[in-house]
Amino acid sequence: MPLYGSAHGVVPIATAQAWLERLLTLDWKQVDGAAAAAANLARRSGDRARDLPPETCERVIARLQSHAAPPGWIVRVREVVALDEAAERSLFGDALPPGLKLIA
């Protein structure tokens, strides 16, 4: 799922899946941001051409649950959800000016 810009700019599924496989081998307690990266790579878009296979998503969900990840991270892998303001801030690294909102 692109953070911004066109859907044409996303990496191919095979690349995202390879990155996820690597993330799943890491010790998430030792690697800061690995769990968040996995949740964002596996995030559902609602587009079958871009969503990862269900088996991969289930593996990510199981790992997120065992890592006690925030429930919102698990939800975004399970179903298509719009990012809330806090999630946008964590992904973009800074807040938007007051009153300005990103729209899909």
pLDDT digits (tens, 9 = 90+) for 34-91: 999 999 899 998 888 889 999 999 999 999 999 999 999 999 999 998 765 565 555 5
Parse the chain into domains and list their residue ranges: 7-89
Task: Specify the pLDDT at position 78.
Answer: 95
The Cα–Cα gap between 7 and 98 comes to: 27
Task: Specify the pLDDT at position 71.
Answer: 93
Rg (CA), the chain: 14
Q: What distance lies between CA 76 and its chain's CA centroid? A: 7
For residue 84, what are its two tokens?
Answer: 């809330």
This prediction's pTM:
0.73
pLDDT digits (tens, 9 = 90+) for 5-36: 566 677 888 999 999 999 999 999 999 889 99
* pLDDT for residue 96 is more than 60: no
Cβ proximity of 25 and 31 under 8 Å:
no
